[in-house]
Structure 1
Amino acid sequence: MYRPADLVVLGLGVMIGAGIFSIAGEQAATTAGPGVILSFMIAGIACMLACLCYAELASTMPTSGSAYTFTYVIFGEVWAWIIGWALILELQLAAALVARAWGAIAVGAIGNFGIRVPNAELVQDILVFVILVLLTGIVALGARVGLRALWIMVAAKLLAIGAVIAVGLPHIDPANFGGFVVPPKTLDTPPATVLETLIGEGQAFGWFGIFAAASAIAFAYVGFDIVATSAEETVNPREAVPKGMIRSLVITTVIYIAVGLVMVGMVPYTKISEEAPLASAFQAAGLGWMAHVIDAGAVLGLTTVILVLIVGQTRVLFSMARDGLIPRGLAKVSRRYHTPSRVTLVIGLIAIVLAEFVPVVPLRELVVMGTLFAFAFVAAGVIVMRRRMPDLERGFRVPLAPLLPALSLFATLWLMVNLRLLTWAWFVLWMAFGLLVYLVYGRRNSLLARPRTEPLRPAHGGRHRR
């Protein structure tokens, strides 16, 4: 069973990773400049609003499945399937994408030690395969095994990040911040995001770039919602799960802003390397040896991200299988390891196929899209549930409701329109395919489709409505 501190580590394990070691530098160099610090704040505030909504629903329905389960109880089976399908996209694609990034960083770390890596692409493919097999095995063996490994790796990466902040602070030049908001720049390329399409031109930097970067940076905060999937395995989940989500998100936001200040403060944003932003900043300050610390932190950081993503995906698919929307055999728990090992192995296999054979890196925004789509339903769910079931026991209540849930919904939609039009198109295609799967399989095999002589045993104890 998870303790309150375990849930904080779970959240830190999945959120502290790509945002620090790659996304911040990339967005600073191409979109927001030093204003990337404000982008982290904006994305953090938007995610905190969503986190409060998740906290209320998780304290009311402390079961596996997170947004999928909440939607099932509040809006019914069809909408639950839609959210579950979006979560599959988010978590499965994120695991494969982070694994690719992990492989690239691992190969780079080997090279930074002066070891020549022949056929780096092949070595990266092998490393990606090995890490996914290893972490899938850890999750399949049992929650406690994975949790022990997670504690050790999170502690180690926090030490590495602490070193980055402590060593970098004395080398900050306030002139590099330049008031944070640099003059906007009109791009020669056609409008890419939905918002750019509406205004008729593409822009970077300025406030437009800061908000656009916030949408991309939302990828860095993906994962606090995974804490909610552990509710059935947590001691006193009505209180522990909300606290775990909120505390881990607050800590992550503070760390991201601190590292971003160091990176942007050490070197002008025009000189930040997109491939290795943190390492290049320290090299420019004559602290090249810090590259090894950063490499170690990045490898450990992304390892924990993959691990927790697999855990979260396991719990979501397990809940969907219990409801019959996907094959019920995936909901079987291993008698030996007391884990849903069958669905874990399926998730690991799909992640390997995606990471090895699909160009997942350009699809990063799809992960953000799937996440924000779930955020929107959770925010709406709080408003609807307050009206329909006002007397239901809640371990945590969103303050100033329905104002804050409405603000969460607005902030989520704003981040979504700052995503590329191509991302929206791919997402619509994915969801259309999901509806087809539901009509062909899920609707016919769900709990609601059972003959009346069979007892209904909903996984989440809520009302089942179509």
Structure 2
Amino acid sequence: MPAPTGGKCETRLGSLWQRFFRLRHVPKSARSRDTPNPLRRVLGAPELIALGVGGIIGAGIYVLTGAVASQHAGPAVCLSFVLSGSSCALAALCYAELASMIPAAGSAYVYAYATMGEAMAWTIGWSLVLEYLFTVGLVSIGWSGYFSSLLRDIGILLPPEWTAPYGTHLVQLPGQGWVIATGELAQWLRGHGVHMEDLPQASGWVNVPAVAIVLSLSALLVLGIRESATLNTAIVLFKTGALLCFVAAAFRYLTTHPEVWHQNWDPFVPPNRGEFGQFGWSGVLRGAGMIFFAYLGFDVVSTAGQEAKNPQRDLPIGILGSLSLCTILYVLVAIALTGAVHYSRLAVPDPIAVGVEAIGARWLAPVVKLGAISGISSVILVFLLGQSRIFWAMAEDGLLPPHLARIHPRFQTPYVATVVSGVAGALLGAFCPILVLNELVSIGTLFAFILVCLGVLILRHTQPELPRPFRVPWVPWLPLAGVGICFLQMVSLPARAWARLILWLILGWALYLGYGIHRSKACQELPAPSPKSASPGA
């Protein structure tokens, strides 16, 4: 007898065990290259590289470079970029294989449903909410910093209380504006004969620009705004061009002022402060875990397998090409920035703007800030889009309330999921400190990437006959290396990040056990257990 379809499914031990490990079928369009493809294969290797670079370059390089350098790695932040990029490449290859096999909405949530069952799909879907939604809040804070800096250049000064999350301690540096007060900044100021207590102080109330940009882009998504490949390429050229201009100007300044470079890089790896992750080599490792966020966006390439002209050839080029280009650019920016500005002064939402001011290239300031604003805006839009689609996919499967699966009758967009994502992202940007959001995004993403790498190994064992337009080489060693490096970066993150991840997962599982497990469509497809089969081993 089939389970009821109109309300809750019965919760018995046998059916509960079945539901935990019920798999979602791999879509027919992924099983054979000969089946009709609902999407046009129009993306070649150049478009895929541009897509990856467009998704990757954003608040990570424009914001987190300063935060990680000032509080964890110092000038050695460039090594953190190399380590993080290497681990990201391993996870990206696993994404590519699964995306070419399962080209469906929902990203890693769908992959987990096809490989590890509903319970793990829920876990990874909930982790993706942590990644996408909290990224929106984090990126909006960076957007706010650059927007406020651009307004300051034209004589418009926003009250500092309106440009920082509640409770953020701010101090006004002469000629630089308001920055976050840290112990490292106070120490640096004392070394230059300035006491922080003598400078103007303020405390943040709410980050108004962050709220404004998230809500505005959410409204555009409800109306069905799309980014074409041509527009994305134009944005990529503009924002990478702005970063290259900064690198060129900074290196020109440093070659004529080598004493500045030597002073700011002495020492290259600041000595550890007696705590793991507070500078030293442990700080480089922790910095790699935190700066992992800077590489997010490559999954845009991995999920384009069904739209690639030749996915087996072009997906690896797109993924590795975009990651390689971004890693090189990130390292160059980190070298230029920490060479021109002492790392203790970089605890600001707009560190590259600080670097521009330090090298005296005021003509470059509007270019860099416009590049940051446009690039970060596109990242906010992409992650809002991704978050709303994850909510929509989970609601379609019955794991979240059905209202989130509603489609607007006129604009044909998941407007409820988009509005919920926008409001939640705006609240995070308004009130949460940037480092808290960064730690949560990093640990949640690393956890999701570990599950994706494991998904490749599981599918290779359980469904080896499925066609794989792109195959990860050196299985099982490469996926296992991805698991190991991602876990190592998770371990490097502070205990508070682990505590928040565990709390987030407990909250998610409470929601799953209280709602989703009873109303999932997979549950309704299961036969009602008989008395003889009402046990896990039946």
Conserved? CA contact 1:382–1:405, under 8 Å: yes
Q: What is the correspondence of 1:438-457 to structure 2 with a 5 Å cutoff?
A: 438-450=512-524
Matched, 1:324 2:365: no
Q: Read off the aligned partner of 1:313 and give its amino acid letter.
A: Q
Matched, 1:38 2:120: no
Q: Read off the aligned partner of 2:282 and give its amino acid letter.
A: F
Matched, 1:139 2:221: yes
Alignment partner, residue 163 of structure 1: 245
1:315 to 389, 393, 399: 389
Conserved? CA contact 1:95–1:310, under 8 Å: yes
Conserved? CA contact 2:135–2:437, under 8 Å: no
Greater CA deviation, 105-114 or 415-424?
105-114
Alignment partner, residue 121 of structure 1: 162
Alignment partner, residue 434 of structure 1: 508
1:13 to 54, 59, 65: 54
The 3 A distance-change label for structure 1 pair 50 and 329 is same
Alignment partner, residue 186 of structure 1: 273
Aligned-pair CA distance for 1:18: 2.0
Matched, 1:378 2:419: no
Alignment partner, residue 363 of structure 2: 289
Greater CA deviation, 14-23 or 123-132?
123-132
Superposed CA offset, 1:336-360 (max 9, x none): 4343333222212222233335556
Superposed CA offset, 1:149-168 (max 9, x none): 64543333222122212322
Matched, 1:130 2:212: yes
The 3 A distance-change label for structure 1 pair 284 and 130 is closer
CA distance in 2 between partners of 1:370 and 1:231 (Å)? 24
1:219 to 280, 283, 293: 293
CA distance in 2 between partners of 1:286 and 1:185 (Å)? 32
Greater CA deviation, 220-229 or 77-86?
220-229
Q: Read off the aligned partner of 1:184 and give its amino acid letter.
A: P
Q: What SS class does the counterpart of residue 339 from structure 1 fall into? A: coil
Conserved? CA contact 2:108–2:124, under 8 Å: yes
Q: Read off the aligned partner of 1:69 and give its amino acid letter.
A: V
Q: What SS class does the counterpart of residue 186 from structure 1 fall into? A: coil
Q: What is the correspondence of 1:284-363 to structure 2 with a 5 Å cutoff?
A: 284-359=358-433, 362-363=436-437
Q: What SS class does the counterpart of residue 207 from structure 1 fall into? A: helix
Conserved? CA contact 2:78–2:334, under 8 Å: yes
Superposed CA offset, 1:398-439 (max 9, x none): 111111111100000000011110111111011011111101
If the length of structure 2 is used for normalisation, what is the TM-score?
0.74
Aligned-pair CA distance for 1:8: 3.9
Percent identity reads: 37
Matched, 1:387 2:455: no
Alignment partner, residue 488 of structure 2: 414
Greater CA deviation, 370-379 or 241-250?
241-250
Greater CA deviation, 249-258 or 53-62?
249-258
CA distance in 1 between partners of 2:238 and 2:244 (Å)? 10
Unaligned ranges ≥5, structure 1? 188-200, 455-466
Alignment partner, residue 56 of structure 1: 97
CA distance in 2 between partners of 1:205 and 1:122 (Å)? 28
Q: Read off the aligned partner of 2:114 and give its amino acid letter.
A: V
Aligned-pair CA distance for 1:169: 2.6
The 3 A distance-change label for structure 1 pair 316 and 263 is same
Q: Read off the aligned partner of 1:61 and give its amino acid letter.
A: I
CA distance in 2 between partners of 1:450 and 1:237 (Å)? 38
The 3 A distance-change label for structure 1 pair 89 and 286 is same
Conserved? CA contact 1:22–1:277, under 8 Å: yes
Conserved? CA contact 1:93–1:360, under 8 Å: no
Matched, 1:396 2:483: no
CA distance in 1 between partners of 2:391 and 2:347 (Å)? 39
The 3 A distance-change label for structure 1 pair 309 and 231 is farther
Conserved? CA contact 1:325–1:438, under 8 Å: yes
Aligned-pair CA distance for 1:21: 1.7
Matched, 1:67 2:154: no
Aligned-pair CA distance for 1:101: 2.4
CA distance in 1 between partners of 2:278 and 2:476 (Å)? 34
The 3 A distance-change label for structure 1 pair 66 and 147 is same
The 3 A distance-change label for structure 1 pair 10 and 289 is same
Q: Read off the aligned partner of 2:489 and give its amino acid letter.
A: L
Conserved? CA contact 2:48–2:315, under 8 Å: yes
Q: What is the correspondence of 1:188-207 to structure 2 with a 5 Å cutoff?
A: 201-202=275-276, 204-207=278-281
Conserved? CA contact 2:99–2:304, under 8 Å: no
Unaligned ranges ≥5, structure 2? 1-38, 165-205, 529-538
Tell me which protein shows more helix as a share of its residues.
Answer: 1
CA distance in 2 between partners of 1:235 and 1:276 (Å)? 36
Quote the RMSD (CA, aligned, Å): 2.9
Q: Read off the aligned partner of 2:271 and give its amino acid letter.
A: P
The 3 A distance-change label for structure 1 pair 317 and 146 is farther
Q: Read off the aligned partner of 1:247 and give its amino acid letter.
A: G
CA distance in 1 between partners of 2:104 and 2:276 (Å)? 43
The 3 A distance-change label for structure 1 pair 229 and 320 is farther
If the length of structure 1 is used for normalisation, what is the TM-score?
0.85
Q: Read off the aligned partner of 1:277 and give its amino acid letter.
A: P
Conserved? CA contact 1:133–1:348, under 8 Å: yes
Greater CA deviation, 289-298 or 420-429?
289-298
Superposed CA offset, 1:177-235 (max 9, x none): 85985353233xxxxxxxxxxxxx43533322211211111121122224445667x35
Aligned-pair CA distance for 1:270: 5.4
The 3 A distance-change label for structure 1 pair 270 and 100 is closer
Q: What SS class does the counterpart of residue 362 from structure 2 fall into? A: coil
Alignment partner, residue 107 of structure 1: 148
Q: Read off the aligned partner of 1:292 and give its amino acid letter.
A: P
Matched, 1:210 2:284: yes
CA distance in 2 between partners of 1:16 and 1:291 (Å)? 18
